[in-house]
Structure 1
Amino acid sequence: MNHQVLLIEDDKELADLVSRYLSNNGLEVQVINTVGEFKAQFTQYSPDIILCDIMLPDGNGFDLFPILKKNFSCPVIFLTALDSDVSQIKGLNLGANDYLIKPIRPELLLARVNSSLRISGKGEVTKAIGPVKLDTAKRQLECFEHAISLNDDELRLLTLFMQNYPTPLSRETLFKEVIGREYDGLDRAADLKVSRLRRKIRDHGVDGLDIISIRGEGYLMQVPTQPNA
């Protein structure tokens, strides 16, 4: 069964474009245009992910967010023309999984939707490799007695590392899956995100747990085999 997307967007032309693009890429999309429509019909929906505009004609996506989280356990991505840091920080601090600025590139939207779907574990450990466990519900990496809290980028990266282990992840793959665009051969955005994740892991001092560089291939998660002494 295809994943269900609930799109809350008052711009009907944009909603139609987004709906058709996501549908053509294997997702089932249901569209509602107002807060009132959502409140009247939300019991009809069982979404796997919600895309919510912030500026709606009869309300505000930030105000609607607690209702969304109360009724659904799925990821929520805000879509908005508000590009200020304050708005983005507010949305993420509320608990949204992502925040995309309009106009939105369809390829980036699809990549972020698929990424959020992959890391929405709904209370279960996504994957375990040896002593390493990635708990998407708690948003943390667990190894021996250590528990490392993760932000969205770190959770996406570790999901990819564990899903592909022991195959290294190339920059091309990281850009497509995490950054949401093709690698141009020069951009270091993915390397920066990996570097920050590597630093956080090393700061926790778990013997044998690391993100290592493999020349000509990309990055690989190094998994410990023995507990800390």
Structure 2
Amino acid sequence: MPPVPHIAVVDDNREIRELLVRYLGEHGYKVSAAENAAAFRRLMESGMPDLIVLDIMMPGDDGLVLCRELRARFSVPIIFLTAMADDTDRIIGLEMGGDDYLTKPFNPRELLARIKAVMRRTQSMPPIREATQSEKITFGPKSLDVNRREVVGRDGVAIPLSHAEFRLLCVFLERPGVILSRDQLLDLTSGRIAEVWDRSIDNQVSRLRRKIEDDPSQPEFIKTCWGDGYQFTAEVSRS
């Protein structure tokens, strides 16, 4: 039998922790709970979970600090729980490496659906290779070091990418010449459907352009197709 997926719930609200431990447990998951970042770090000593449900607003190190710390070492999927309704705050969470978010108050059934979607997407991705097997993808005069998650430019300088920037660039590199809508890009990078006025993809494209384009105001790689989305126009090769 396949191993039971392990979900960690990190939230300072005891009622939410108890609710999710019970509800997710009833749906076949092994669930561990931590009331803050420090408690989760202790939990990590016995092994990394398969997915983390992470509250943003917590005393001490908040969820964004913990996410940044985890992303420096691990690729574990993270779903943010946030009481903040402002789009900018949620976009920051996604750009820092969150795979999805859910705004409080939330329906546990919706969280369960998002957990399943994120785990399907992440489990379908190929495993990260060792440094000696690092793959490089060339586009125009630049290349992406997949293992290091760095773009090397004409001058040989390596530019590190955030987790979200790396995922977005990989989506473009896998589909050169294809016009991708904002909804498609959001689904391919985050496994979720865009909400009304969700501009997170536009923000991520803008950030990525600043990393890979010589002149982000006149992009040569990621073209805007007005009314349709974005298109990666460079030739792509792998080595």
Give the TM-score normalised by structure 1.
0.60
Question: Within 1, Cα distance between the matches of 2:35 and 2:126?
Answer: 27
User: Quick one: structure 1 residues 209 and 106, their matched pair in 2 at CA, closer, same or farther if it must change by over 3 Å?
Assistant: farther
Question: Within 1, Cα distance between the matches of 2:119 and 2:145?
Answer: 19
Question: Within 2, Cα distance between the matches of 1:183 and 1:6?
Answer: 27
CA contact (8 A) 2:209 2:219 kept: no
**Deviation by residue 1:143-196 (Cα, 9 ceiling, x = unmatched):** 452422111110110111111122122112012223443235632121111111
Shifted more, 92-101 versus 164-173: the winner is 92-101
User: Quick one: structure 1 residues 189 and 208, their matched pair in 2 at CA, closer, same or farther if it must change by over 3 Å?
Assistant: closer
Question: Within 2, Cα distance between the matches of 1:127 and 1:114?
Answer: 26
Q: 2:151 aligns with which of 138, 141, 145?
A: 141
User: Quick one: structure 1 residues 64 and 138, their matched pair in 2 at CA, closer, same or farther if it must change by over 3 Å?
Assistant: farther
**Deviation by residue 1:28-48 (Cα, 9 ceiling, x = unmatched):** xxx4445xxxxxxxxxxxxxx
Partner of 2:11: none
CA contact (8 A) 2:137 2:146 kept: no
Q: 2:63 aligns with which of 83, 87, 110?
A: 87
User: Quick one: structure 1 residues 135 and 112, their matched pair in 2 at CA, closer, same or farther if it must change by over 3 Å?
Assistant: farther
CA contact (8 A) 1:121 1:135 kept: no
Question: Within 2, Cα distance between the matches of 1:83 and 1:11?
Answer: 19
- The alignment-based identity, stated in percent, is 23
Question: Within 2, Cα distance between the matches of 1:65 and 1:209?
Answer: 43
Is 1:211 paired with 2:210? no
Aligned pairs, how many? 185
Q: Aligned-pair RMSD on alpha carbons?
A: 3.9
Q: Mark the runs of 5 or more structure 1 residues left unpaired by the alignment.
A: 20-30, 35-52, 70-74
Q: 1:128 aligns with which of 110, 134, 137?
A: 137
Q: Mark the runs of 5 or more structure 2 residues left unpaired by the alignment.
A: 9-19, 82-105
